[in-house]
Structure 1
Amino acid sequence: MKGCRQALLLSSSNCHGYSFLEFAKQEISYFLKKNGVSQLIFVPYAQNDYDGYTKYVREVIDTWGFKVTGLHTYSDPMNAIKAAKAIFVGGGNTFLLLKKLYENNLVNLIREEVLTGNLVYIGSSAGTNVATKSIHTTNDMPIVYPPSFDAIGIVPFNINPHYIDHLEIENHKGETRDQRINEFIEMPHANLVLGLREGGILHVDGDSLVLKGVAGAVVFKKTESKTEYPVGTDISFLLNN
């Protein structure tokens, strides 16, 4: 859809009860076909084994009828992105991913290409984190230091992928995910955070934002209690924050 931002933002590529990406197969396939995409570039920068990671993703998505190539196989990543119709930014370590995107001068380029409708974006986990306002709400350890925490900005708020609000261990006395997110919300540079549950997908279609997948999300705002939104909810109002 030319001139209209198009993105699918997944909490993760893995979801309990499903094989790799299986829970999102229908959404991804429809999304790519709707946008006339038959080939997509996979961005493996969130992990170190680019060849192995790309092969793992290719073996799944190729069976759906789409051709996958790794961005690392192109001698000029910027020109590859400019020529591409769609990219899939995989999960791993968010700090590592963002650092590599900055090193290749891809952050601003991807933002411009997506917001002008020239590039379709799919992100999962770390790939979803870097599609947001900043990576302040990632769950990952800062194993490297990117030049900025500012991210691509396809959506104007932060996301916490893999969001959980229950404790796996009953005797756990440390901070909960909610406490960590609320610590961020108190900062002057924070606006809101969407906690995307495992199996949740955000579908961005121009100025429309709808929750899809097999799980919903919660929204944290300053001075407000968190709000739960189930699958199927139109949360387009978040794009205006």
Structure 2
Amino acid sequence: MAKYKKKRARELKHDRFRDATMLVADRLADRVAGRRTQVLYGLIALVVIAIGIYAIVRWRHKHAEEAQAAMGRAIVINDADIAPAAPPGSTDPVFTSQQERSERAIHEFQKIAGKYGDPYRTEAQYFIATNELVTDRLKAETDLQNLANGSGDIAVLAKFGLAQAKESDGNLDQAAALYSDITKTNSPVVTPDTANLRLAIVYNKQGKKKEAADILFNMVSAARNAKDKDGKPIPESGASRAAAQELLKIDPARQAQLPPPPSPLGLSF
């Protein structure tokens, strides 16, 4: 009996060991299976995300291409010739008046502004405002001012357009203030030289001939004395050449004191 009990105890102990081993094995199997499921779900999620990103990139690329094409068509209208009729064989748009052309251009740019995001929306709004200078001048100035309050190239262009409108309307103080602001931005789309040239012209209209002459003289002198990194003269800009001509009209004696223009070939003598 004692031997049986010992034998039975060993069997029970063995069974408990086996059961415990099997339980651990089952748990490990379940855990591995669970991890496999998690990994599988993770891979599926990554694939879905990748497909989503690809779809978004493709959509944006296609959307950008559509916007660029629409801008191109609108700009063709914006720059179309004004004539009684198109030349024989021409497929380019032609308008009989500036009013007609501006109205059509505004319509095209409004479609772009309503459908696409930036930068196309803001660019379209700028073209709308410049064409409104023909169709609705007060609205144009309001829209240009709103754009000028922004940032970036379009804001500078809008401020320059607004300054030109103020100058054309005879609001010379406002025009001068706007041109002066632009000279400080150092923008590549409206360079300081371009803004300074207009500022000097406005000063001359206001009777401030000395201020105008000073701006023009300093501007042209700096341009003609400019050198590149190798010490060679930098070609004079169109704005600088125009400033020299403007200075000749305002103050010929001061114009005669300008340094000579750089050689076209960059040679010094």
**Short-chain TM bin:** under 0.3
Higher relative contact order (CA closer than 8 Å, sequence separation 6+):
1
> Hey, which of these two has a bigger chunk of strand by percent?
1
Alignment TM-score, normalising by the size of structure 1: 0.27
Which structure would you say has the larger Rg?
Answer: 2
> Hey, which of these two has a bigger chunk of helix by percent?
2
Alignment TM-score, normalising by the size of structure 2: 0.25
